[in-house]
Amino acid sequence: MTVDLSIEFCGLEFDNPIWLSSAPPTMSGDHIKRAIEKGWGGAVVKTLGLDKDIFPDVRPRLKANRESGTLFAMENIELITTHYLDWWEKELKVAKSTGAPLIVSIMAAPNREDWATIATWAQDHGADMVELNVSCPHGCPEKARGAAIGQDPDLVAEVTTYVKEAIDIPVMIKVTPNVTDIVEVTAPAVNNNVDAISGINTVFGLIGVDIYEAKPHPNVLGYSTYGGNCGPAVRPIGLRIISQLNKAFPDTPLSGIGGIDSWENVLEYIMLGATSVQVCTAAMWYGFDIISGWLRHIETFFKEQGYSSFEDFRGMANRSIGTFDALKVDDSIVPEIDVEKCISCMKCYISCRDGASNAIKEPKLGDIDQDACVGCSLCVQVCPMNAITMVKKS
């Protein structure tokens, strides 16, 4: 069976839908060139700005969270590129030499002249598409940029128009999750003929506090600030937003971002309507080489499931998402324990006793009071051996 992992996105052809997002992994032409050579389908250049908008980064500017030693979240207080446009002229040539379409992320103050200037510069220096960063949640909003624009429907409409009128290449807008209604703030861009939508940018937050020093993270000479949170912890937000955007704007190409750290996550986003996905944190934690394994697993998945291209299942999962009122109640759904897999850790027993209905009596014997069970599946979630499944009562 022939498998085709290539995609078309806004008229541009990519070898596969897995791109690097606008972030440290795309901070130079060399980074992008090495990534494409290793198999990444594309890359979005780290956000560029006009020279007057470039500021130095603080040190340190990252802080990760771990659970039992495993990385699951990270916060950054990093700004856009620290390099001026004359430096980027050479870097974009290097990135362009890969043959992959070149997507350039841009940011400016909310006025026509600045957005038109940076967009035109990007087009003149080889960009095949621009991504409008109206979503960075820290540092930039204080200067009326980033999320300060993306959270205002009127400014979203204006910025989209400024860029669309200035250049001829496709325009993609990168949306912020830090809003109440993603459809409401994105609709003006769609109405003003934006070519594509990417999202999400990072989630505004505070990742933690050093309780021994009473200092927030990341600690910058004794002080910190609120930052952008990323990694697997934010994936549910990214999936929800891509699903909502696909339902609201089914004809607009979407590039899904947020917490992708496996090949399965790539497919999740596409099954919710994304045409491409963008990866940052996983590339920062594990390096560019992860792409080879992801592509290999996806190709195997295609063959096993009988798919020939991503279009065979793009948006398929969205068909099964509706309102809460549409969900059916079935009192016959209960847990069943595979006693051969059970290791008597008692996690299900404790969780059910203290967090549910105290229906599990003796896990190793598969003893569950099905009449007392409320069918919440808490036991399934805490079992470390995947020994419990939800079934219909016999």
As annotated, the active-site residues are 136
Phi, psi of 85 (to 5 degrees): -65, -35
Distance, CA of 182 to CA of 116 (rounded, Å): 25
Short-list 80, 132, 126, CA closest to 106: 132
Short-list 157, 176, 143, CA closest to 52: 143
Cis before 60 (ω within 30) = yes
Short-list 180, 176, 84, CA closest to 137: 176
The two tokens of residue 126 are: 């080889």
Distance, CA of 354 to CA of 97 (rounded, Å): 60
| Residues near 300 by beta carbon (within 8 Å), at least 6 away in sequence | none
Query: Which secondary structure element, helix H or strand E, spans residue 90, and what is its range?
Result: helix 85-96
Short-list 263, 252, 240, CA closest to 193: 252
Residue 248, judged by CB atoms within 10 A of its CB (0-12, 13-18, 19+), counts as: middle
